[in-house]
């Protein structure tokens, strides 16, 4: 495994952990029944939610960049 592959491996597990820690804003039954009373209510994230959202965004950009870099390394050097 190359360096980019290790980064992809680590970031993928961090993304799984961050998505598991994020709180759900909807109830499960609302997804099945479609009865969401607060559909267009403006909800602002605070505290740990902001940190998890931003870290998930950064990790997803890093993951995408490492996938492209890993594929280009394999194509040009092998």
Q: What is the pLDDT along the chain (78 residues), one digit of tens a residue?
A: 678 788 889 999 999 998 888 776 655 666 566 665 655 566 666 788 888 889 999 999 999 998 888 888 766 665
Give domain limits for the chain: 1-21+47-78
Tell me, what's the pLDDT at 34? 61
Tell me, what's the pLDDT at 58? 94
Tell me, what's the pLDDT at 63? 92
What backbone phi and psi angles, to 5 degrees, belong to 76?
Answer: -85, -30
pTM: 0.67
Q: Which of 2, 7, 1, 16 is nearest to 64 (CA)?
A: 7
């Amino acid at each position: 495994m190359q360096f980019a592959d290790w980064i992809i491996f680590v970031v993928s597990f961090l993304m799984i952990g961050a998505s598991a820690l994020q709180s759900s804003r909807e109830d499960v039954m609302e997804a099945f029944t479609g009865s969401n009373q607060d559909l267009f209510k403006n909800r602002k994230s605070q505290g740990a939610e902001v940190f998890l959202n931003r870290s998930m965004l950064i990790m997803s950009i890093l993951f995408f960049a490492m996938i492209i870099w890993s594929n280009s390394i394999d194509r040009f050097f092998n």
